[in-house]
Amino acid sequence: MATTRELLGEERREQILRWLATEGKVLASDLGERLGVSLDTVRRDLQELAAAGALRRVHGGALPRSPGPDRFVDRRADDAGAKAAIAAAAVGLVRAGEVIALSGGTTILEFARRLPDDLRATVIAMSPDIAVALADHPGLTVDVLGGRLHPDARTVTGAEAIDALRRVRPDVCMLSACSLHPAVGVTLRDRNEALVVGEMVARSGRVVSLTTAAKLGTAGPYPVAELERIDTLVTDAPADELVVYRELGIDVVRA
């Protein structure tokens, strides 16, 4: 329904962000009608919000932007309690004797640190930080992907890493993407990292996503996998926010 008076630009943009927060996405054509303004005006508002980092502009509308800082070192303190709870809940999803592929990310680092000493398995790591965290584990064989180190994400990227993944079929991939959206799927901020994680997901028998509540319903610019590729979602999000994921057939473990 269109507004009853013409809103100022700042008011329009604040309203757009409120709708985006509650509805998970906005369409430019729909916003024009709801706000009572032209499509060109809506597009300018969306572009201004995107430039300010408030949302991610996509064809035909906008999605919530991936939360948190871009750099790995700056993300370590974010949602520390939630990451610890999610990591603890996810540890029971890996089994002895498996080949376990681990993506990068601070939540996966927390997960790696919690793997029990009596676990006997092989780990494939694309993050040097995670490999180092597992170096003294008594029961794990740790394989580190080769390639170029991404300085912000602290993960290995490039053709070497992708080629190495094509020579193995992990039993399970444990990943922590920047964003997970019901319509868009799993996404990351960096294209090169997304290519490696996408290959990791494609080669794995099972896929488990460790995702904090803040990342659900948001989207980054580079796709990793369709949501249907996720077998299990481990999250601290409230139960009412998880209905859409369960309806898609995803097993949900609440931390």
Domain residue ranges in the chain: 9-63, 72-254
Task: Classify domain 72-254 by CATH architecture.
Answer: 3-Layer(aba) Sandwich (3.40)
Q: What is the mean pLDDT of residues 107-126?
A: 97
pLDDT at 20 over 60: yes
User: Model confidence over 130-156: pLDDT tens digits?
Assistant: 999 999 999 999 999 999 998 888 899
pLDDT-based confidence at 124, cuts 50/70/90? very high
Higher pLDDT, 77 or 195: 195
User: Model confidence over 24-47: pLDDT tens digits?
Assistant: 778 888 888 888 888 888 888 888
* Local structure of residue 216 (DSSP, 8 states): B
pLDDT-based confidence at 22, cuts 50/70/90? confident
Torsion of CA 211, 213, 214, 216, to 10 degrees: 70
Assigned CATH for 9-63: 1.10.10.10
Instruction: Indicate the pTM of the whole model.
Output: 0.79
Measure the N-to-C terminal CA separation of the chain; round to a whole number of Å.
39
Q: What is the mean pLDDT of residues 5-10?
A: 67
- In the prediction, which pLDDT does 194 show? 93
- In the prediction, which pLDDT does 3 show? 47
Kindly list the distances between the CA atom of residue 212 and the CA atoms of 10, 41, 176, 207, 232, in Å, as whole numbers in the listed order: 30, 34, 9, 16, 14
pLDDT at 70 over 70: no
Q: Do 218 and 66 form a contact (C-beta atoms < 8 A)? A: yes
* Local structure of residue 240 (DSSP, 8 states): G
pLDDT at 84 over 60: yes
Half-sphere exposure in the Cβ direction for 151 (13 Å, CA): 0
**In angstroms, rounded to a whole number, what is the distance separating the alpha carbons of residues 164 and 156?**
12
**In angstroms, rounded to a whole number, what is the distance separating the alpha carbons of residues 7 and 3?**
8
Q: Do 62 and 72 form a contact (C-beta atoms < 8 A)? A: no
Q: Do 193 and 153 form a contact (C-beta atoms < 8 A)? A: yes
Q: What is the mean pLDDT of residues 168-189?
A: 90
- In the prediction, which pLDDT does 68 show? 64
